[in-house]
Amino acid sequence: MSIDRVVVSPEELEQIQPSTDGPPAVPARLPSPIPLWSRILLSPLVLVLPLLCAIVLVLRIAFRGQPARVKYAWLSFLSTLLMVSGIVSTVAAIFVFAAAPLPSFVNTGLPELDERGQFPSLPSTRDLNSAEVSTQLKPLVIVVSPAARLWNRQVTTSGSFGAGFLLHADHDGYLFATANHVVAGAQIALISTQTDVWAKANVVGREPQRDLALLWMVRHSGSGDFVQPLAAAEDGENVFVIGHPEGLKYTLSTGIISGLREGVLQLTAAVSPGNSGGPVYDAHGNLAGIVSSKFDRNQDANAENLGFASKSDGLQLGPGWNFTGNGKEHLQHYLAALKQKD
């Protein structure tokens, strides 16, 4: 079988080549396989990520048998919706978390005090030993920390804390005392008892010269009344100090009044950071003083047993007190109940 030879000349090739004088022809664009109504209907779902995820799953299953061009077009469109929805949901979650306060973990009251039907009867008719002081008087002592607010406005404890104690309890609420430097410039303090339940209390009075402060917390239930008696300390008498030295909560230390200074008691009882604001009780449960400071051993390493407390008579009304809210009325009410008890 013979094959004919075909020869094409250059002139013939020039005749069949396309002209290069103008721009190349652009192929016609095919219409999108995704209808416009589908885009409009699905686009608002970026605001509801869980619902969008469910619809995407259904559509992926529904388009399994469609041509590749249709499947890839829908895949690209749905992927874009998911990315946009993820960004929108993340921004919304951050905004809500930052703007809305978290549930508070601080109570408005102290159930341990509200549920007490009876407080110790003070002063005791006889001298209390250390075990009796621990049993009867420790429940009157609190942990005090100036309140701090987080970026989400939630109230929490600050990095510092001290001690405080109950002065007066009646049907309206509880009046506590502590050292002024324990609550610093805070208007709200967080307090807790041995149950470690925290509650908010208002700082209603300050006596900076005596380093004293008053805290008030409303009562929600219960009817047990209490009035803390005061007593002038005598040089050399035995005393009991309750506080939270170095974080060791409800530590009891004993000693004597080793000196009477101007408005201040000098103690041999061990005190450390965390004792500030704690009570100094005499042997009958009378309040003799409020722990204010200790000698700094960085100044003299040989200094021993040099603690100081403000005398309890600083809790009387005087020109040095600065009150907020009903602080003056609460202190007057306590002093009136104390006078009536005497």
Q: What is the pLDDT of residue 252?
A: 97
Cα 181 to Cα 99: distance, rounded to the nearest angstrom: 32
Residue 155 tokens read as 């109230």
pLDDT score of 103 more than 50: no
pLDDT above 70 covers what percent of the chain?
83
Mean pLDDT confidence for 228-246: 95
- For 251, left (φ over 0), alpha (ψ -120 to 50), or beta? beta
Cα 279 to Cα 309: distance, rounded to the nearest angstrom: 9
Q: Does pTM surpass 0.95?
A: no
Please answer whether residues 254 and 239 qualify as being in contact, where contact means their C-beta atoms are separated by less than 8 angstroms. Answer: yes
12/174: higher pLDDT: 174
Residues 286-297: tens digit of each pLDDT = 999 999 986 655
Q: What is the pLDDT of residue 182?
A: 95
Q: What is the pLDDT of residue 7?
A: 62
- Give the three-class secondary structure for 245: helix
Cβ neighbour number for residue 1 with a 10 Å cutoff: 2
In angstroms, what CA-CA distances link 62 with 43, 139, 308?
19, 70, 82
Residues paired with 242 in a beta bridge: 252
Please answer whether residues 272 and 294 qualify as being in contact, where contact means their C-beta atoms are separated by less than 8 angstroms. Answer: yes
Mean pLDDT confidence for 187-216: 94
* Candidates 2.40.10.120, 3.90.1010.10, 3.20.20.70, 3.40.30.10; CATH matching 111-341: 2.40.10.120
Confidence category of residue 115, pLDDT binned at 50, 70, 90: confident
Place of tokens 């239930």: 221
For the chain, the structural domain boundaries read 32-99, 111-341
Residues 203-234: tens digit of each pLDDT = 999 999 999 999 999 998 888 899 999 999 99
